[in-house]
Amino acid sequence: MDKKALSEADIITKYILPAVDNAGWDAMTQLRQEVKLRDGKVIVRGQMGIRKTVKSADIVLYHKPNMPLAVIEAKANKHDIGKGMQQGLDYARLLEVPFIFASNGDGFIFHDKTASDGQPIETQISLDEFPSPEQLWNKFVAFKGYSEAQLPTITQDYHDDGSGKAPRYYQLQAINKSIEAIARGKDRILLVMATGTGKTYTAFQIIWRLWKAKQRKRILFLADRNILVDQSRTGDFQPFGKAMTKITGREVDPAYEVHLALYQALTGPEEYQKAYKQVNPNFFDLIVIDECHRGSAADDSAWREILEYFNSATQIGLTATPKETEEVSNIDYFGEPVYTYSLKEGIEDGFLAPYKVMRVDLDIDAFGWRPEEGQVDNNGELIDDRIYNGKDFDRNIIIDERTDLVAKTISAYLQRTDPMAKTIVFCNNINHAERMRQALINHNPEQVKKNDKYVMRITGDDEIGKGQLGNFINPKKSYPVIATTSELMTTGVDAKTCKLIVLDQNIKSMTKFKQIIGRGTRIDDRYNKLWFTILDFRKATELFADPAFDGESEQIKVTPDVIINGDKWITEDSPFNDDTPSEGDGMISEPNGPTDGDDWGSEPNDKKPFIK
């Protein structure tokens, strides 16, 4: 047999796996082959999206499932023995493992990041010298500085539902780093993970492992929207079964161990509303706060009192957007993040959808609007004589022609690309969302005749609209197609097939901007949702550019005329053919200054606008 002629797969089967097996590694629980680490970045060209090659490690060795120790990268024998080392080092960096092996079947190059001063980091060893599980684990424990008391918590099993589902590499890191920090005595933990990367699943595995290790016996999972609590209860948290309850009616039932609750169900301005005081301050020993940027870290927040009452509990904050303003700092409260996985990383890895940005410049926004002398509104009231600009429109004054032009532009874009593409239009308030709904209906008569739910207003005050939210986010349901909203859909809405995000809202904070963009970043290959578009009428993509977290991309600026009257959309001359990130790009360009805080709360419903 000519060893030089063997394929990489043959080298693995005939030489590498036998060497690993002889060293005592369990093929069922300690070894996985072709471990997918990156999903293949989506590259967008025109109206098409394709994936780059999936990145997989040849072999990953584990102390036990989901606790990686080493990476083995193989090459055919015609290559040098260390040919795969640099590739292996890249995979090891993602998994944060200190041991890397490269092999062509003749032996191994062993890269040991735990090597002490004076010892070589890379050595060549024979096939018979491959280290045993005990040898690598003992080196790992010494390298990490784990104590005997910490090991039972750190090595507690993950939940396995039997489906073969395994955490992605960044979820493993977030989970393991959180467990390690808690085992070392840290009682405030911050995890920053971009929207769509599985924060709730990550939180579940952290809670499950601490609960099963009997390190934390009573757990409180806090959120500020029913949809977040309900999705967790019926989804990722389901394995808790009868040990879990949702707090309702301001009653905390001590018979349960895992409690899911809205902030609003536990506290309020009146003393009788402070249901959390039904139990003593040491009742909960673990609290997980979902979307913790939404007020839990603010000194004057009503929610903060819950965290302070259960001050002795370990508290974990989850967020896609760590809030840092003069008033609120998650980092001041929780400390520096134990792990961060950014939108830029998610796009590069192929787990999140890239997006293209079209900023639509309206003349009325650029030059403002001034009433004629003595002009009155639709109610007969005199309009103040001043120049109104983008900050006023749809808050202090309503210009119906502007609303109509925005709706016409959105409709033209959809008609020329995909009229059935799920679309969210973010408006300034409920009144604005209703007027936008009407304008969109009038610009899409044929679609509305087919189904009167083609356009729906989905806001907090409208039960019929809220009732369609489930259909909107369900990929199997065609209608509604276009949802107009103001606050309700900014967070907690898992709209995997949303292909168009429209910004016609004066967004006042980086936090809110990231949450809104997160409505489109999920990928669904089954429904060909690989990328999405932002149609920006309010310059939000300039104001809140964050290249460090979101990456960078070119941003095309257009006028409504280009969209409404353009004839060439798929041709080389189309202004939309190249409005996509290049292969090395991520998101948004042109940073333009700091944020000025957030404006969360109940949905605004301005009753004061002047009507022209």
DSSP 305-333: HHHHHTTTSEEEEEESS--BSSS-BHHHH
Rounded-to-integer distance, Cα 153 and Cα 179, Å: 7
Give the pLDDT score at 323: 60
The answer to whether the beta carbons of residues 566 and 574 sit under 8 Å apart is yes
Q: Dump pLDDT digits (tens) for 20-33.
A: 999 999 999 999 99
Across the chain, what does the average pLDDT equal? Answer: 86
Give the pLDDT score at 273: 87
Q: Dump pLDDT digits (tens) for 509-544.
A: 777 888 888 889 999 989 989 999 999 999 888 877
Beta bridge partners of 221: 260, 288
Average pLDDT over residues 487-513: 84
Percent of the chain at pLDDT > 90 equals 59
Per-residue confidence at 269, pLDDT binned at 50, 70, 90? confident
Average pLDDT over residues 543-555: 63
Q: Is-same-fold flag (3-144; 151-341)? A: no
Rounded-to-integer distance, Cα 583 and Cα 514, Å: 22
Give the pLDDT score at 65: 95
Residue with tokens 């001043």: 386
Q: Which amino acid is at 282?
A: N
* Cis bond before residue 354 (omega within 30° of 0): no
How far is the CA of 456 from the CAs of 85, 437, 485, in angstroms?
A: 55, 6, 9
Rounded-to-integer distance, Cα 290 and Cα 288, Å: 6
Contacts with 295 (C-beta within 8 Å, 6 or more apart), sequence order: 224, 263, 301, 302, 303, 304, 328, 600
Q: How is 49-66 classified by DSSP, letter by letter?
A: EEE-PPEEEEEEEEEETT
Rounded-to-integer distance, Cα 462 and Cα 489, Å: 13
Q: Dump pLDDT digits (tens) for 411-430.
A: 999 999 999 999 999 999 99
SS3 260: strand
Give the pLDDT score at 302: 64
Is residue 581 over pLDDT 60?
no
Rounded-to-integer distance, Cα 187 and Cα 561, Å: 56
Q: Which uninterrupted H or E stretch holds 261? A: strand 258-262
Rounded-to-integer distance, Cα 226 and Cα 469, Å: 13
Is residue 82 over pLDDT 50?
yes
Average pLDDT over residues 254-274: 89
SS3 466: helix
Rounded-to-integer distance, Cα 494 and Cα 473, Å: 6
Contacts with 597 (C-beta within 8 Å, 6 or more apart), sequence order: 325, 326, 327, 328, 508, 509
Residue 339 CB neighbour total at 10 angstroms: 20
Give Cα 94 to chain centroid, integer Å.
18
Rounded-to-integer distance, Cα 229 and Cα 588, Å: 32
Give the pLDDT score at 374: 78
Task: Identify which has the larger pLDDT, 599 or 568.
Answer: 568
| Among 45, 595, 67, CA closest to 354 | 45
Q: Which amino acid is at 168?
A: R
Give the pLDDT score at 293: 66
Is residue 609 over pLDDT 50?
no
Rounded-to-integer distance, Cα 136 and Cα 535, Å: 52
Task: Tell how many helices (H) and how many strands (E) occur in the chain.
Answer: 22, 24
Give the pLDDT score at 572: 36
Task: Identify which has the larger pLDDT, 447 or 566.
Answer: 447
* Assigned token pair, 349: 């890895």
Cα-based angle 564, 567, 568 (whole degrees, multiple of 5): 120
Of 120-124, 155-159, 476-480, 487-491, the range with the lowest mean pLDDT is: 487-491
Beta bridge partners of 191: 318, 339
Is residue 140 over pLDDT 80?
yes
Question: Per DSSP, which regions of 401-511 are E strands?
Answer: 422-427, 455-457, 482-485, 498-504
How far is the CA of 300 from the CAs of 220, 297, 328, 330, 430, in angstroms?
A: 21, 9, 9, 13, 27
Is residue 586 over pLDDT 60?
no
Cα-based angle 464, 479, 347 (whole degrees, multiple of 5): 110
Is residue 296 over pLDDT 80?
no
Task: Identify which has the larger pLDDT, 504 or 44.
Answer: 504
Give the pLDDT score at 325: 59
SS3 369: strand
Average pLDDT over residues 142-159: 96
Q: Which CATH superfamily is domain 347-596 in?
A: P-loop containing nucleotide triphosphate hydrolases (3.40.50.300)
Residue with tokens 């001590």: 254
Rounded-to-integer distance, Cα 593 and Cα 317, Å: 27
* Assigned token pair, 525: 């290959």
The answer to whether the beta carbons of residues 533 and 355 sit under 8 Å apart is yes
Give the pLDDT score at 132: 98
Q: Which CATH superfamily is domain 151-341 in?
A: P-loop containing nucleotide triphosphate hydrolases (3.40.50.300)
Burial level of 273, CB count in 10 A (0-12/13-18/19+)? middle
**Model pTM?**
0.84
Is residue 601 over pLDDT 90?
no
Average pLDDT over residues 328-342: 84
- What number does CATH give the domain 3-144? 3.90.1570.30
The answer to whether the beta carbons of residues 75 and 104 sit under 8 Å apart is yes
The answer to whether the beta carbons of residues 76 and 5 sit under 8 Å apart is no
Q: Dump pLDDT digits (tens) for 92-125.
A: 999 999 999 999 999 999 999 999 888 999 999 9
Q: Dump pLDDT digits (tens) for 301-316.
A: 667 889 999 999 999 9
Where exactly are the structural domains of the chain? 3-144, 151-341, 347-596
Per-residue confidence at 218, pLDDT binned at 50, 70, 90? very high
Give the pLDDT score at 556: 67
Is residue 131 over pLDDT 80?
yes
Rounded-to-integer distance, Cα 26 and Cα 19, Å: 12
Q: Where are the alpha helices (DSSP H) in 444-572?
A: 445-450, 463-467, 469-473, 510-517, 540-543, 547-550, 560-564
Contacts with 385 (C-beta within 8 Å, 6 or more apart), sequence order: 370, 371, 373
Task: Identify which has the larger pLDDT, 230 or 135.
Answer: 135
